[in-house]
Amino acid sequence: MNRIKNILLSLALLSVAQCLAAQARPNFVFILADDMGYGDVACYGHPYAKTPAIDRLASEGVRFTQAYAAGQTCNPSRTGLMTGRSPARFEKRTDDFDFGDRVTVTELLNKSGYATGHFGKWHIGMDRSNGVYGIDENDSGGIPDRFSPEGRDTPIFAAAIDFIKRHKDEPFYVNIHGFTTHAPVASAPNFLVEFSDLTVDRSDFSEYMQPIFDDSIELGGDLDLAMRHYMGNVYAFDLNVKSVLDVLDELGLSENTIVVFSSDQGPQRPYGIGLHAWGDKAKKKVQKTRDGVVKKRDTNAQNMLGDAGVFRGNKGTVYEGGLRVPFIVRWPGHIQAGVVDSENVIGGIDWLPTICSLAGVTNVPNDLDGEDVSDVWLGATRSREKSLLWNSGDNPGVAIRDGRWKYYLISKRGKETGKEELYDVLKDPAESKNLAKQYPEVASELKKKVQVWKAELPTQIIRTGKYRHQY
């Protein structure tokens, strides 16, 4: 049976290659939201969100429900996307240094004739010069004004649209990485007015949102206003997505452009990120920011109401809520419209091999952690060849997604505690029932895989600290 499946998959990939050879290579537009939760988009179930442009992408393409970020925070997530390698493998923090000799998706595409651009959030090195990582045009400087009535990310999207217009007659790849839903969140009045009648009904949300609501109330006192601010930001981001789709239509590029929307990881909590953000000590902690010394997340922190849906956890953790992200792919005429893919498991580390496959790039490194899932994008259903793994330190430790199972080897202060957690995430996506004792043989097998992988990783990550708050 497996042999037959492999033959069919090979034929499918051959068909894709033949199609690509017979036509112009596709363009790529990668729209990446910052800290937007799995459940923050209307088509992913948010009860109040207004996201008609993103919903349009879903209606015209495939919407994945088992897509995972490459990392639990901004830098590792982007590292995995750009390199196809687990961010845990890097000996140096890439936001403080660079990727070293690891090749990037933009380098591979650029060498094969693609015009490449990056607009918006960077977070992957000190050097933003044109040409770095094979990026022809890099416009990632500065942090947009969150109170701007035109929308926090509008200048980013406008620059990307200009790039698309100038390169419409050649194959192009463009990253559009926004800031809008990254803390601190606050909406300009023209976006708030869209939600002037919004009243939060806490029963509309999972149990994992309830303590987040409590934190918001403690910080700001008005839960309805906090939700209006967050929804205003999501709405503003969606308007910018619309601007890209409109220009692709106007230029006649929609049919040959693969548009992807996703988020870099799960949503941030009002009091910070990761498991450390839950306690009173963290709430009172004072830290130095670029604006001076303030209470942690004191400014507009009450508005951080990103929703991870039914999933446990948030940004900074490797629980499902920290890693499960929205992921939508549209390619008219190639990807069936209106599909909801609830079967396939895909990850951010799959980005490089998948994009290169669709672009006809052949000199892809053979030691990647990600795998080519182009056949999955195009409609195939199959099991992953490679497990997905993450190393989160104490949040709560090392994690692996393997088949239906999610396993955690728990750490504290950098050392294994001997504790472990096992969840059947197909039956229990909320990770509410630890099955480690019920299925010891499964836990043992996954523990071995985790330990083998962990032994391959650097024991200490070097960082300079110079990149802090530079995004």
Q: What is the pLDDT along the chain (471 residues), one digit of tens a residue?
A: 545 544 455 554 454 544 444 458 999 999 999 999 999 999 999 999 999 999 999 999 999 999 999 999 999 999 999 999 999 999 998 988 999 999 999 999 999 999 999 999 999 998 999 999 999 999 997 777 877 888 899 999 999 999 999 999 999 999 999 999 998 899 999 999 999 999 999 999 999 999 999 989 988 889 999 999 999 999 999 999 999 999 999 999 999 999 999 999 999 998 878 765 655 555 555 444 444 444 544 557 889 999 999 999 999 999 999 999 999 999 999 999 999 999 999 999 999 999 999 999 999 999 999 999 999 999 999 999 999 999 998 899 999 999 999 999 999 888 889 999 999 999 999 999 999 999 999 999 999 999 999 999 998 889 887 765 555
Task: Domain 388-455: give its CATH code.
Answer: 3.30.1120.10
Tell me: cis bond preceding 396? Omega within 30 of 0 counts. yes
Residue with tokens 């959030």: 121
> Which pLDDT score is estimated for 351?
98
> Which pLDDT score is estimated for 60?
98
DSSP, res 272: B
Q: What does the block give as tokens for 38?
A: 């799995």
- Taking the complete model, does pTM exceed 0.85, yes or no? yes
CA distances from 453 to 10, 316, 371, 390, 458 (A): 29, 21, 17, 10, 11
**CA pair distance 304, 213, nearest whole angstrom:** 9
- Domain borders along the chain are 2-377, 388-455
One-letter identity of residue 77: S
> Which pLDDT score is estimated for 279?
52
Q: What share of the chain is helix, strand, coil (3-state, %, to 5)?
A: 35, 20, 45
> Which pLDDT score is estimated for 6?
46
Task: Domain 2-377: give its CATH code.
Answer: 3.40.720.10
One-letter identity of residue 24: A
> Which pLDDT score is estimated for 292?
45
Burial class (CB in 10 A: 0-12, 13-18, 19+), 24: exposed
Q: What does the block give as tokens for 204?
A: 């509309």
Residue with tokens 């091999």: 353
List, as one string, the DSSP characters of 60-98: TSEEESSEE-SSSSHHHHHHHHHHSS-GGG-SB-TTTS-
Tell me if 2-377 shares its fold with 388-455: no
Q: What does the block give as tokens for 471?
A: 């995004």
15-18: long-range contacts, CB 8 A cutoff, minimum separation 24: 16/357, 16/358, 16/374, 16/375, 16/378, 17/360
